[in-house]
Amino acid sequence: MSVDTLTIARPDDWHLHLRDGAAMGSVLQHTARQFARAIVMPNLAPPITTTEQAAAYRQRIHQALPRELVFEPLMTIYLTDHTAPDEIRRAHESAFVHAVKLYPAGATTHSASGVTNVRRCARVFEVMQRIGMPLLVHGEVTSAQVDVFDRERVFIEQVLIPLRRDFPLLKIVFEHITTAEAVSYVREEKGPIGATITAHHLLFNRNSIFMTTDGQPGMRPHYYCLPVLKREAHRRALVSAATSESARFFLGTDSAPHAKGDKEAACGCAGCFTAASALELYMEAFDQANALDRFEAFASFNGPDFYDLPRNSQTVTLARSAWTLPAEFPLGDASVVPLRAGGTLQWTLQA
């Protein structure tokens, strides 16, 4: 399908990092310009572990939102070994907390307080399964004995399959999937399960971390994320899933702003900042796959349907019009470098 403009129902972002304070105030506008709603990650420092903390964070987001933009943050709470079932009930009753996030301890940014063993959360999962509260899973094991490129595959085998066996009705979102094994698992597994896919995992393989676009060697820290980019075969599997007719796959940017100095460091942070050009990047991936006719379902329908929320009635239009992505954006008193900084994007979100 080749078109020069595409109008779709306004999408939502089902996986987003906004940070807090001045940093959040800098990046929030980018997401609110593109998306109607977003599932907001709770891995602040300290993390959002209670409904009360989620309410306060939500208020800060609304206060930071530019007056001319309409945007609804969908809040989550951070699962720990000590989360009480009653906290899950309170979160569900709040109507503004829409999910619980499972970070394996040490898996990614600000995950030190995460779950050390999912068996410790059995009582919480029982409640979530009964009330229909989704569990959002960062699907990687953290054992030093497991190769970083295999952490997602091993997580499916060691954690996700037993979890689904014990709680077959638990609603799960396998977030930012990166492998053919994850695609197959989500496609074939019985019960309520979905998966988000990022634009960067659709567009790039692991070569992008270690060499330039013209094939020259060099470490590119702004392409480093967790889960890490994988082989080309896995990227192709993700594109096939995103552009398929399966409603189990939907848009989640995992946009993660880090200060430039924290990325370009001896031990650089994991995360790609894509909020400023998210829809344009996704459009590029779908355009390359000759699947623009499938984009609206992936971006605008599958997510709200999975979360039992209404689809957005507003629309957005993207046009085939080249533009140059800025090299940096403000991030509080620092700056953040977007993915593809200084590069040319082929699609433009019309104002």
Does any domain span residue 339? no
Report the number of distinct structural domains present in the chain: 1
Let me know if residue 328 belongs to a domain: no
- In this structure, is residue 141 part of a structural domain? yes
How would DSSP label each residue in 139-172?
-----TTS-GGGHHHHHIIIIIHHHHHH-TT--E
Tell me if 320 is assigned to some domain. Answer: no
The pLDDT of residue 296 = 98
Give the separation between CA 94 and CA 106, rounded to whole angstroms. 29
Residues of the chain with pLDDT under 70: 1, 110-111
Q: Roughly how many angstroms between the first and final C-alpha of the chain, as a whole number?
A: 24
Residue 171: give the domain boundaries.
Answer: 11-313
Residue with tokens 């907001």: 40
pLDDT of residue 110: 64
Q: What pLDDT was estimated at residue 215?
A: 80
> Residues with catalytic annotation?
254
Per-residue confidence (pLDDT) for residue 1, from 0 to 100:
61
DSSP 347: E
The answer as to whether 344 is a domain residue is no
Specify if 167 maps to a domain. Answer: yes
Which is nearest to 246 in space by CA: 314, 189, 199, 198?
189
Residue 207 lies in a domain: yes
In degrees and rounded to multiples of 5, residue 9 shows phi and psi of: -55, 140
Residue 214 pLDDT: 80
Query: DSSP string spanning 225-245?
Result: -SSPP--HHHHHHHHHHHTSS
Instruction: Look up residue 175 and give its DSSP letter.
Output: T
For residue 9 the two structure tokens come to: 């129902």
- Asked whether residue 265 is domain-assigned, the answer is yes
pLDDT tens digit sequence for 136-154: 999 999 999 999 999 999 9
CATH of the domain at 192: 3.20.20.140
